[in-house]
Structures are given as C-alpha cells and as structure tokens.
A and B are shown apart, each in its own frame.
Chain A
Amino acid sequence: MATPVAAPGGAVAAGENRRFKNQLKKVYTWYTGGFILFLIALAIAEQMGLPRSIIGYVFLLATVGLYAGIGVMSRTSDAAEYYVAGRRVPALFNGMATGADWMSAASFIGMAGSLYLLGFNGLAFILGWTGGYCLVALFLAPYLRKFGQFTIPDFLGARYGGNIPRFVGIFAAILCSFTYVVAQIYGVGLITARMSGVSFELGVFLGLAGILVCSFLGGMRAVTWTQVAQYIILIIAYLIPVIWLSVKITGVPVPQLVYGKVLEKVGQREEQLLKDPKEIQVRDIFKQRAADASAKLKDVDKSYAEGKAALTAAVTKAETDNAGVAAVDDAKKALEAYPKDAAAAKAAWTKDTGLAARAAPPLRHAEAFPGKDEAARDVSRRNFLALVFCLMVGTAALPHILMRYYTTPSVRQARESVFWSLFFIFLLYFTAPALAVLAKFDVYTFLVGSEFSKLPQWVASWQRVDPSLLSIVDINRDGIVQLAEISIGGDIIVLATPEIAGLPYVISGLVAAGGLAAALSTADGLLLTIANALSHDLYYKMLDPHASTARRVTISKVLLLVVALIAAYVASLKTADILFLVSAAFSLAAAAFFPALVLGIFWKRANKWGATLGMIAGLGITFYYMATTQPWLRGVFGVTGSIADHTWWGIQAISAGLWGVPMGFVVIIIVSMLTPAPNRDIQELIEHVRYPNLKGDTVNTLGT
C-alpha cells in the first residue's frame, strides 16, 4: 500500500494532495481488479475440484493477510499520522472508510434477516442508520474538521473549558464504544469459526489477531487504508449474490428497481397462506402445545408425576397386550424422551410456551405498524418513529464515526466526504430490503408447498449446520412444507443467498469474507476510539500534559492491546444480551454527545456546567429507562414490578434515547442560562470553528 510520508501534523500543499489522490485511485483500482481476478481464479479452481474447506481457508488467509500487509506498511509513530491519518484522506476515500467503519457485522449479516422477519417495521433501521448522516453533515462534520484535533472529548474539553466535560466525554465514549466492540468481536469469532472450522473461542482470538495487525502498528492511518480495502470487498460480496438472485427471480439484474413487483406477488401469497386450512391446522397445533405447556406449569410436580405415570403405563400396556415390537419400542422411546426430573420438565415446558409465537399468522410484509386494534397500531407507530429518531441521533453522535471527519484535508472535503460516506452506505442499505423481499418470495413460493422428500439442497445443509438458523419439521405430518413449519433465524438470509440463487461455493466464501471485513473494520474503528480516549484524553490531556509524542503513541498502542484483549474476553463469555447492547450504544451516544456537541457549535451561550450536567442528565435518564424496562438489565439491577409499570408512553427500552436527548438539551440550556457565559477565548473559538477560514482569526486549534 502506497502511503507516502508527508509533513506531519499540518495541511499539505494542494499539488501534493492531488498527486496523492491520483495515486490512491490507481492503487485501489488495481486492487479491485486483482480481487476480482482472485475470485475468478478460485471459481475455476472449484470447478476443477478444489474442496470447499480449502476455499474457506484461502479466503480467510488471503483477506486477513491483505489487511495485515496494509497495516504493516502503514506503521507510524507520528501523532498526527497515528490519530488522524495525517489529515490527508481525500473525501472519496474517507467516504469508503466511513462506510466500512459504519457497517458492522449486524448491518452486513443481520439487516436483511431482520427485514425478512419484521417486514415494514424493520425499515426503522434502514431509515435511522442512513438519515443520521444528514445530521452529521449539517451539524457536525465541517465544524469538527475545522476544530481539527484528535478526538471528540478534545472538542468538549476545548469548547467547554476544563477537564470535567472532557472526562464525562471520555466516560461516555468508552461506554458506548465498548459495548459495540464486544458485539463486533463476537461476530468476528462466529465467522472465523464458520470459515475455518475452529471453535468459537479460538475464532475470537484469531479474529482479534486480525484486528490488531491492522490497528496496532499504524493507528488511524493503517485503519483508514484497510477500511477502504474492506469496503471494496464487503460491497462486492453483498451485491453479487443479490443481483444473481434477482436475475433468477425477475430476470433483471437491478434488484433495487424491480422488487416492487415481487413484493406484490409476496403480498398475494401472504393472503393465500393466511387462509390456507393446512397452515391454520399447523398454527392450531402450536397453539395447543403452548396451552398444554402453560397448563402443566401451574403445578409442575403433579403434572410431571402424572405424565411419567401415563407413559410408564403405556409401556406396560403395550407389553401385556402383545401389541408388537414396534409399538413397544415407540412407547419406550416416548418414556425415555420424557424429562429426567421436575426441574428439567419445567424448563422444557417453559420453552414450549414460547411456541405461542409460532401460532401467530404470518405478518404482511409491507403493512406498516400491524396491530390488533387502533391502540396497538398507535403504539407500534410511536415505537417505529422513536427508534428512527434514536438511531439517527445516535449515528450523529458515535465517536468512532465523527472521528473520521478529522482525517480529511479540509473543511470543504469534510462536507463532500459525508456525501460519499452516505452514498457508499446507501449502496448496501437500499439493497438489503430488496434481498429480504426476494428471499421471502423464494421461500413462500418454492419452499412452502414443496414435499419433505424433495427439499432443496441448501435447506438440508443449513439445517445440519445450525438448527437455530433454519429448521423445518413436518408438524402436521402431511409430507408437505407449510410456512408455519419453518423456523428461520434472520442471519441465514444473507448467508444462504448464494446457495438459494444457485451460485458456486466460492460466492459463499466471498459472503463470509465480506461479513468478516464488515466486522473487522468496525471493530478497528471502535478499538481505536477507546484506546485514544484513554491515551490521548485521559493520559496526555489530563494526567501528563508534558508527555512526548513518541510516548503518547506507545501508550496508545499498549492500551489498544489491553482493551482488545478485555473485549475479546467479554465476547468469549457469550453471556450478555449482545444485540441489545449494540442498540443501546446508539441511545447512549445520542443522549451523551449530540446535545453538547450541537449546542457547543450553534449556541455561544452554552457553558461548562450546562454541558457537563446536560451530558450526565441525558446519559442518566437513558440508562435509568433501560435499566427499568430491558429484561436483561432488570435482572442485573434487580428491578421488580412489571415492565409495563416502568415504560413511559409505551416506548421500548431500545429507544430510551427518546428521553435522553431532549433531557440533554433542556438541562444544557437551563443550567447555562443560570451560570455565567463562557469567556472571550471560547467565544472566539466558536467563531473559529464556524468559518472554514476566518480572516484576522488568531485562534489555532489544530492538534499535533
């Protein structure tokens, strides 16, 4: 990777910037071409008989090796290079890097699946995770670039004066980034394990090695150039299978333009399936099983004894009646399958009550805010809008994203860079809903109604790999697949698309490599954010302001290693409700940072105490709401009483930022009005960040 050395810390001459950009274009064009050739070569090798396990290994080693190579070539110990890639990243490339930084394993693997399962309501994620960039563009990116230091707490510290706002910023940055990075490392472990066949725990640490080679030696500079490479891989990996599936179903290779017609057909099929007597029969069986289980749960010991006695009696009866060997065997098997003790029975029955969910009729994919009555629909709509709000504001407040806009050469390019960021993110996000609809069409028309003896090959192989992703059981024993008999996990939609579309195994390997790229790139950005908050903000700015550059960068590297190991350890425990933690990060970031950052730029009167208390209040109320309404956190904090008692206005825990963000704004405004206005220096700093180049301006905030 070509990353010529430039004058550290400052702006470089225009000519040099242009040369650098042209060189980057050349390098990444060759890279993309090379990657496609690599794919073709592997596909040919597969046709000639290269086994699948080898293909998985080749992908894993080739891509991680590539990232490592970029990481090693970009090693640096210069502060501006390490923290902000020397501020030489052109808008277009910063856009790609932001895209990879932004799109995590959840976006890549989980998104289309969530849309498949949730229908219209899942689109809250699509809207929220793209629309947030409008807020980044209008309120933050150009101003943060003009300010031009290294971290988000840097801005809080300079704008609000003193270490207290900075410290709250450090705390919040670590809180939201750490929960997020644990989920990424978890994803890395899963994918590595799947690609190479090692155990999950080993996969976590192998993946960790992949993350560290990128970020450890070269900090932001290495992460930036790997993220660009990772974006190219992940977008190719996402688009190829969807385009292929679209050709198979619609005959048109632009799924995004034509899936409206497919959605219509899915709608017609849904109406048939809602009325189909066999479907209703299967749903009734589930309803019955769930009802039986809850009846038994009323007196576990008694029902357990009764059940066991009945089965034992059946065995005896079969034996004494001479009913035949087969009948006796069946009765014995049933007895063996019976839970060993009352506690096991209780667990099994509690699980069975969950079958009630499968007794529900399938949702209509395009219906907005389904509900049984007007009130339920209202609550659903409210939660949809609240979630969109939290995800958007959270997007515009996550430090690892905002930090990327420090790396462009100018304010001008920072603005353009937000456009490129959203453009590259858009490419994936407007494809995911199309994939969900195409996959649904395939399942509803080809899988449902087929015979159990003739299931497609991909169904059999995924049932074997992971029953939680896909399991089909002939509940009503008619030999035909009913929709209600299919239990599907969201992640399978992206993972199995190549096979559904009938593509060679190479493409499945490519999809896994894309998922790995998405998870690794996000993890890199997050780890860097945490390590920088600790080394730059906490150590250098607060504890030892006289530390030399080399010392600061070394400390940052050591901390990166420590944080990565802790995160990997937490991920390998597999304990917490990780999906919830990711969404929690958005609400927490939104409440902590957005009001303080925006008012810091747009309202000169906002002061130290207002910002400090506003951040604490916003974080506090968001956290309080989550702790009282989210099942896992309720367990941790021992909250009693029903969830409904604690919810306000029917809003779910995932959207707790709906309370935190306004709270932050209100507290900052009120407290600032009650305390003295910021001094002259800070007023001038605000003017400094508002203008890309203010003549007569003596303020210089550029970090070195």
Chain B
Amino acid sequence: MQLTTKQQEYWRKNLRITGILLFIWFVATFVMGFYARPLNEINFFGWPLAFYMSAQGSLIIYVVIIWYYARYMNNLDRVYDVEEAEDE
C-alpha cells in the first residue's frame, strides 16, 4: 500500500522526537559520566554533583523521557488519525 503524506509526516515526527529524547538520554548518561570528575567538584545539597546524577538525577531524567514520549506519541496518534480503536 502507498502511505499518505499525512502518514509519512507522522513517522517523521516520531523520528524527530525519538532523536531529541535520545540526545537528552546520551547527555544525561555519557557526557555526564565522561565529565564526572570535574562535575564532582560541585556540591549539590551535600552530594558531589556527578555522584548525585548517577545515583538519582539521571534516573529521574530517564523516567521523564519515557513519560514524555508516551504522552507525546499517544497524542500524535490521535492527531494523525492512527490511534487504535479498541482501547479504553
């Protein structure tokens, strides 16, 4: 079957949000980890910053990334008319 322009746009938007969120994930993980020693010089409520990020901060970012993706895509499904019928 041939995809309509609207359907193709849905996929492009999906790729775009996936890319953006993946970039945030990468920064919160690997860029943060790479600069852990200098970041640890910063005190964050008692924690050295990189310690805090690795033990808690980045984890919160991960949870938010997944929450936002689900919300964004579930909404996009509706706007682009590709949502499933039989769901609550």
Which chain A residues have a beta carbon within 8 Å of chain B's beta carbons?
11-14, 17-18, 21, 120, 123-124, 126-127, 130-131, 133-135, 137-139, 142, 256, 259-264, 366-369, 377, 381, 384-385, 388-389, 392, 409-413, 415-416, 418-419, 422-423, 426, 429-430, 433-434, 684, 687, 690-698
| A693 and B25 contact, CB distance less than 8 A | no
Q: List 12 A-B contacts (CB under 8 A).
A: A11-B87, A138-B22, A381-B37, A384-B33, A385-B30, A410-B84, A426-B59, A426-B60, A426-B63, A430-B55, A691-B10, A696-B1
Inter-chain contacts of A413 with B (CB < 8 A): 87
Q: Which of A21, A693, A695 contacts B88 (CB 8 A)?
A: A21
| A368 and B87 contact, CB distance less than 8 A | no
The smallest C-beta distance from B5 to any residue of chain A, in angstroms, reads 14
Q: Across the two chains, which residue of chain A brings its CB closest to B32?
A: A127
Inter-chain contacts of B7 with A (CB < 8 A): 691, 694
Q: Across the two chains, which residue of chain A brings its CB closest to B1?
A: A696
| B62 and A133 contact, CB distance less than 8 A | yes
Inter-chain contacts of A687 with B (CB < 8 A): 1, 3
User: Size class of B's contact patch?
Assistant: 35 or more
| B63 and A385 contact, CB distance less than 8 A | no
The smallest C-beta distance from B69 to any residue of chain A, in angstroms, reads 6
Q: Which of A137, A256, A261, A411 contacts B46 (CB 8 A)?
A: A261
| A692 and B21 contact, CB distance less than 8 A | no
Q: Which of B10, B63, B87 contacts A14 (CB 8 A)?
A: B87
Task: State the majority secondary structure of interface residues on A.
Answer: helix
Q: Across the two chains, which residue of chain B brings its CB closest to A264?
A: B46
Inter-chain contacts of B83 with A (CB < 8 A): 412, 692-693
Inter-chain contacts of B67 with A (CB < 8 A): 419
| A260 and B52 contact, CB distance less than 8 A | yes
Residue of B11, B65, B84 contacting most chain A CB atoms (<10 Å): B84
| Complex-state Cα separation, A130 to B60, whole angstroms | 10
Q: Across the two chains, which residue of chain B brings its CB closest to A14?
A: B88
| Complex-state Cα separation, A430 to B73, whole angstroms | 27
Inter-chain contacts of B62 with A (CB < 8 A): 130-131, 133-134, 422, 426
| A422 and B84 contact, CB distance less than 8 A | no
| A423 and B70 contact, CB distance less than 8 A | no
| Complex-state Cα separation, A526 to B70, whole angstroms | 27
The smallest C-beta distance from B17 to any residue of chain A, in angstroms, reads 9
The smallest C-beta distance from B54 to any residue of chain A, in angstroms, reads 4
Q: Which of B36, B69, B74 contacts A138 (CB 8 A)?
A: B69
Q: A389-B30, A412-B84, A429-B59 are in contact. List 18 more A-B contacts (CB 8 A).
A: A131-B29, A133-B66, A134-B22, A135-B25, A260-B46, A260-B52, A366-B47, A368-B40, A377-B37, A381-B34, A388-B33, A411-B77, A416-B70, A418-B70, A426-B59, A430-B55, A692-B77, A695-B82
Q: Which of A263, A415, A434 contacts B70 (CB 8 A)?
A: A415
| Complex-state Cα separation, A124 to B33, whole angstroms | 9
The smallest C-beta distance from B68 to any residue of chain A, in angstroms, reads 9
| A18 and B63 contact, CB distance less than 8 A | no
The smallest C-beta distance from B42 to any residue of chain A, in angstroms, reads 12
Which chain B residues have a beta carbon within 8 Å of chain A's beta carbons?
1, 3, 7, 10-11, 14, 18, 21-22, 25, 28-30, 33-34, 36-37, 40, 44-48, 50-52, 54-56, 58-60, 62-63, 65-67, 69-70, 73-74, 77, 81-88
> A-B pairs with the 3 shortest C-beta distances?
A260-B46, A368-B36, A433-B55
Inter-chain contacts of B56 with A (CB < 8 A): 256, 430, 433
| B70 and A137 contact, CB distance less than 8 A | yes
Inter-chain contacts of B14 with A (CB < 8 A): 690
Q: Which of B34, B45, B50, B85 contacts A693 (CB 8 A)?
A: B85
Q: Across the two chains, which residue of chain A brings its CB closest to B22?
A: A138
Inter-chain contacts of B30 with A (CB < 8 A): 385, 388-389
The smallest C-beta distance from A266 to any residue of chain B, in angstroms, reads 10
| A693 and B84 contact, CB distance less than 8 A | yes
The smallest C-beta distance from A112 to any residue of chain B, in angstroms, reads 12
| B55 and A409 contact, CB distance less than 8 A | no
| A412 and B87 contact, CB distance less than 8 A | yes
Inter-chain contacts of B55 with A (CB < 8 A): 123, 126, 430, 433-434
Q: Across the two chains, which residue of chain B brings its CB closest to A691?
A: B82
| Complex-state Cα separation, A366 to B40, whole angstroms | 8
Inter-chain contacts of A693 with B (CB < 8 A): 77, 82-85
| Complex-state Cα separation, A697 to B65, whole angstroms | 30
The smallest C-beta distance from A194 to any residue of chain B, in angstroms, reads 29
| B66 and A11 contact, CB distance less than 8 A | no
Inter-chain contacts of B69 with A (CB < 8 A): 137-138, 415
Q: Across the two chains, which residue of chain B brings its CB closest to A437?
A: B55
User: With A369-B37, A381-B34, A433-B55 in contact, is A409–B87 under 8 Å at CB?
Assistant: yes
| Complex-state Cα separation, A476 to B1, whole angstroms | 81
Inter-chain contacts of B86 with A (CB < 8 A): 11-14, 410
The smallest C-beta distance from B55 to any residue of chain A, in angstroms, reads 4
Inter-chain contacts of B47 with A (CB < 8 A): 260, 263, 366
| Complex-state Cα separation, A21 to B87, whole angstroms | 12
Q: Which of A137, A430, A697 contacts B66 (CB 8 A)?
A: A137
Inter-chain contacts of A261 with B (CB < 8 A): 45-46
| Complex-state Cα separation, A410 to B83, whole angstroms | 10
| Complex-state Cα separation, A474 to B76, whole angstroms | 67
Q: Across the two chains, which residue of chain B brings its CB closest to A389?
A: B30
The smallest C-beta distance from B88 to any residue of chain A, in angstroms, reads 5
The smallest C-beta distance from A215 to any residue of chain B, in angstroms, reads 28
Inter-chain contacts of B88 with A (CB < 8 A): 14, 17-18, 21, 409
